[in-house]
């Protein structure tokens, strides 16, 4: 009897094992929600301001060229030396030029004597008017030759065009120079120009005389005041415009030509506009998007942004006041993902 029961149970167990299993129905109501932190879109004061990295340049940067030909006889400048305006940098052999000057001086004196004699004779009616005019023209020609001869002598002494620092000298004693040959370079760093390339979206905010706050990594913690001196009317191939600002070069923390500098342009007036935290953006500032939470669902929304102020960004289109944007947890989201708000932050600027 017992053996018969065991055989029955074994047969029943084997029968049920052979039956196809039905899939377990999933609960379609069960969905995992991603925890996120949101911020309220609100209005705040916005002042048009932006910062761009540029280059500092010397107020004047000049290549000094030879205006004469000859052998360099002396050099009185070294790289790094500061020279006053008119100081001699080097001298070219002036023997031929000096000889020509002496000859021009004599010719002018002779021409002047002939002119005086003919003028007296003309007043007495002893010579024709045409002969008197010929002597006058001869005197003027001799005076022109004298001026040119003096200039050639002066050109043999190459002088600093302004007070500044010698950055390069390309000739030595004994070198032969020719007109137009580059001899040296000088810069004037009493003032500096801050040159920046401004995108076309922001160049309309800049005008002549606009104040600029300048900083540099060379002098950390220091800020310098400059003002806009020019805005280019023509863009580059990258659709940027060259903007130049100028400032006095501080003696205790001097700028050098070619240093990186950060120029911050700050508008004079502020306005009320919608603001969101910078960390709410998904992707780049060029194609701004945010996740907006509505009824527990995160919707990916394209924006049109404006000025950036501190940690906030102005929104020109795409959001409304009171919307909730995700500021933490975006990496786990996709368009239409269900979310649960674990924390809500206030609107920027409040």
What are the tens digits of pLDDT across the range 217-233? Answer: 999 989 999 999 999 99
Please give the Cα distance from 342 to 182 (Å, whole number).
71
Q: Is 177 helix (H, G, I), strand (E, B) or coil?
A: strand
Give the model's confidence band at 104: pLDDT under 50 very low, under 70 low, under 90 confident, else very high. very high
Tokens for 131? 């002969």
Architecture of domain 34-46+272-345: Beta Barrel (2.40)
Pick the CATH number of 51-59+188-270 from 2.40.30.170, 3.40.50.2300, 2.30.110.10, 3.30.365.10: 2.40.30.170
Q: Where are the domains of the chain?
A: 34-46+272-345, 51-59+188-270, 70-93+156-180, 95-155
DSSP code, position 32: P
CATH number, domain 95-155? 1.10.287.470
Closest CA to 277 of 306, 309, 300: 309
Distant-in-sequence contacts of 218-222, Cβ < 8 A, 24+ apart: 218/255, 218/259, 219/253, 222/253
| pLDDT digits 0-9 by tens, 229-274 | 999 999 988 889 999 999 999 999 999 999 999 999 876 667 788 8
Fold classified for 70-93+156-180: OB fold (Dihydrolipoamide Acetyltransferase, E2P) (2.40.50)
pLDDT at position 108 over 90: yes
State the pLDDT at residue 331. Answer: 85
**Chain-wide mean pLDDT for the chain?**
87
Task: Please report how many Cα atoms fall inside a 13 Å half-sphere around the Cα of residue 172, on the Cβ side.
Answer: 0
Whole-number Cα distances in Å, 141 to 121, 132, 138, 266? 21, 14, 5, 61
| pLDDT digits 0-9 by tens, 138-155 | 999 999 999 999 999 999
List of E strands, the chain: 34-40, 42-65, 70-75, 82-83, 88-92, 157-159, 164-169, 176-177, 182-199, 211-215, 224-231, 240-248, 260-277, 289-294, 297-302, 304-309, 312-317, 324-328, 337-345
Average pLDDT value for residue range 20-26: 48
């Amino acid at each position: 009897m017992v053996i018969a029961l065991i055989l029955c149970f074994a047969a029943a167990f084997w029968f049920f094992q052979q039956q196809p299993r039905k899939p377990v129905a999933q609960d379609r109501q069960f969905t995992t929600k991603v925890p996120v932190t949101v911020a309220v879109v609100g209005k705040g004061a916005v002042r048009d301001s932006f910062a761009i990295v540029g280059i500092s340049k010397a107020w004047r940067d000049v290549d000094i060229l030879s205006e004469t030909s000859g052998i360099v006889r002396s050099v009185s400048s070294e790289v790094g030396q500061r020279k006053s305006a008119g100081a001699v940098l080097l001298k070219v052999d002036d023997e031929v030029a000096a000889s020509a000057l002496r000859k021009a001086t004599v010719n002018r004196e002779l021409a002047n004597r002939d002119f005086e004699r003919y003028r007296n004779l003309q007043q007495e009616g002893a010579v024709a008017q045409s002969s008197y005019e010929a002597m006058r023209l001869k005197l003027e020609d001799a005076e022109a030759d004298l001026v040119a001869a003096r200039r050639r002598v002066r050109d043999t002494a190459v002088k600093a065009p302004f007070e500044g620092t010698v950055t390069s000298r390309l000739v030595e004693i004994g070198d032969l120079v020719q007109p137009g040959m580059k001899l040296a370079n000088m810069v004037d760093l009493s003032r500096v120009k801050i040159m920046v390339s401004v995108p076309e979206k922001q160049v309309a905010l800049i005008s002549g005389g606009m104040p600029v706050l300048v900083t540099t990594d060379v002098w950390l913690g220091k800020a310098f005041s400059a003002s806009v001196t020019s805005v280019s009317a023509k863009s580059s191939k990258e659709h940027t415009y060259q903007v130049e600002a100028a400032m006095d070069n501080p003696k205790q923390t001097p700028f050098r030509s070619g240093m990186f500098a950060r120029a911050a342009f700050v508008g004079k007036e502020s306005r009320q506009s919608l603001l969101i935290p910078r960390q709410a953006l998904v992707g780049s500032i060029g194609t701004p998007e945010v996740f907006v939470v509505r009824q527990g669902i995160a919707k990916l929304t394209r924006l049109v942004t404006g000025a950036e102020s501190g940690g906030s960004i102005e929104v020109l289109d795409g959001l409304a006041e009171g919307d909730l944007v995700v500021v933490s947890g975006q990496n786990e989201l996709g368009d239409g993902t269900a979310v649960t708000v674990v924390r809500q932050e206030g609107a920027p600027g409040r």
